[in-house]
């Protein structure tokens, strides 16, 4: 059940929340468990939060599940995260029954063939959903995304004088999506870590010491309440 059945009066829900799901490893370490157990717990939190966002009527949620830099982690940890992704994708009912439209952003090419097939099936199967637009960033890096957009522009032969900010935005993985208004990073780190660096130009940020597996809808509600006290001026006065 949502904590609020209705949005409290006058409360503004961001249109697009982006989350850096950080702290799984430390959560596991604190319990003398392997890092992979932290990712298992993190995946549960992810499902819970995505479902909750859908229930309160959020339109866009984008989560950082695996970065272009995460391949540097031990092989078994990378495999563990990929297996969690497989489990999630196989359970396609996640999206269908819940009216969630799922999309993957990032360079999907290096992923295993079975994962790529599952991604395609789930994206196709949920394309008519009208609830939450859930984007999962896999093998995603903001600098890589911008580099690829520049290559597309050059390959399309667009004259330099005709290139606008929109030309670039349209060629990012997030093309057609509104920019995130609100970026949440738990686990006590204060960095963007190459996440949605172009799209976050005017986003509000929310940090918390809570580790991602411990993140609950109550934390999200607190974050949204704080968002409501921000004064967004977009460079104006
Ligand atoms: C960062 O915490 C987390 C990751 C790199 C992986 C996130 C993956 C999941 C939450 C599960 C899989 C996702 C889906 C979509 C099923 P960290 O490992 O860097 O934690 P630490 O900083 O405490 O070491």
Please tell me the distance between residue 230's alpha carbon and the centre of ligand 1 in angstroms: 28
Q: Report, as an integer, the average pLDDT of 126-150.
A: 97
118 ligand 1 Cβ < 6 A: no
Query: Whose alpha carbon is nearest atom 12 of ligand 1?
Result: 43
CB 124 within 8 A of CB 156: no
Whose alpha carbon is nearest atom 22 of ligand 1? 23
Does the CB atom of residue 185 touch ligand 1 within 6 A? no
60-85 residue pLDDT tens: 999 999 999 999 999 999 999 999 99
**What confidence category does residue 7 fall into, taking pLDDT thresholds of 50, 70 and 90?**
low
How far apart CA 86 and CA 38 sit, in angstroms, is: 17
218 has pLDDT over 50: yes
Give the orientation angle of helix 35-55 with respect to helix 75-90, to 10 degrees.
30
Please give the Cα distance from 206 to 190 (Å, whole number).
9
Distance CA 133, CA 188 (A): 27
pLDDT value at 4 more than 70: no
Contact 135, 61 (CB under 8 A): yes
Fold of 16-141+179-227: Undecaprenyl pyrophosphate synthetase (3.40.1180)
Give the distance (Å) from ligand 1 centre to CA of residue 154: 35
Does 46 contact ligand 1 (Cβ within 6 A)? yes
Q: Is 70 a catalytic residue?
A: yes
Is any atom of ligand 1 closer than 6 Å to the C-beta of 213?
Answer: no
Pocket flag, ligand 1, residue 85 (CB < 6 Å): yes
pLDDT at 5: 47
Which 3-state string (H, E, C) describes the chain?
A: CCCCCCCCCCCCCCCEEEEECCCHHHHHHHCCCCHHHHHHHHHHHHHHHHHHHHHCCCCEEEEECCECCHHHCCHHHHHHHHHHHHHHHHCCHHHHCCCCEEEEECCCCCCCHHHHHHHHHHHHHCCCCCCCEEEEECCECHHHHHHHHHHHHHHCCCCHHHCCHHHHHHCCCCCCCCCCCEEEECCCCCCCCCCCCCCCCCCEEEECCCCHHHCCHHHHHHHHHHHCCCCCCCCCC
| Ligand 1, atom 24: closest residue by C-alpha | 25
Q: Flag whether the pTM goes above 0.85.
A: yes
- pLDDT given at position 237: 74
Q: What is the pLDDT of residue 6?
A: 52
Instruction: Please tell me if the CB atom of residue 81 comes closer than 6 angstroms to any atom of ligand 1.
Output: yes
Name the catalytic one among 48, 70, 83, 194: 70
């Amino acid at each position: 059940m949502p904590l609020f059945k209705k949005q409290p009066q006058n409360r503004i829900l961001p249109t697009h929340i982006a989350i850096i799901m950080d702290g799984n490893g430390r959560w596991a370490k604190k319990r003398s468990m392997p890092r992979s157990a932290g990712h298992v717990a993190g995946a549960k939190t992810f499902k819970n939060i995505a479902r909750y966002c859908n229930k309160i009527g959020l339109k866009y949620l984008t989560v950082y599940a695996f970065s272009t830099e995460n391949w540097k982690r031990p092989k078994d940890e990378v495999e563990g995260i990929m297996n969690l992704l497989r489990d999630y994708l196989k359970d396609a009912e996640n999206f269908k029954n819940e009216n969630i439209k799922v999309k993957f952003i990032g360079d999907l090419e290096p992923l295993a063939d079975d994962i790529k097939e599952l991604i395609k099936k789930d994206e196709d199967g949920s394309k008519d959903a009208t609830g939450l637009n859930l984007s999962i960033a896999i093998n995603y890096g903001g600098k890589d995304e911008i580099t690829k957009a520049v290559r597309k522009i050059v390959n399309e032969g667009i004259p330099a004088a005709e290139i606008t900010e929109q030309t670039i935005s349209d060629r990012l993985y997030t093309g057609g999506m509104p920019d995130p208004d609100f970026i949440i990073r738990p686990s006590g780190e204060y960095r963007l870590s190459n996440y949605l660096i172009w799209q976050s130009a005017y986003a509000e940020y929310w940090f918390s010491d809570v580790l991602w597996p411990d993140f609950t809808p109550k934390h999200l509600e607190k974050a949204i309440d704080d968002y409501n006290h921000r004064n967004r001026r977009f460079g104006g006065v």
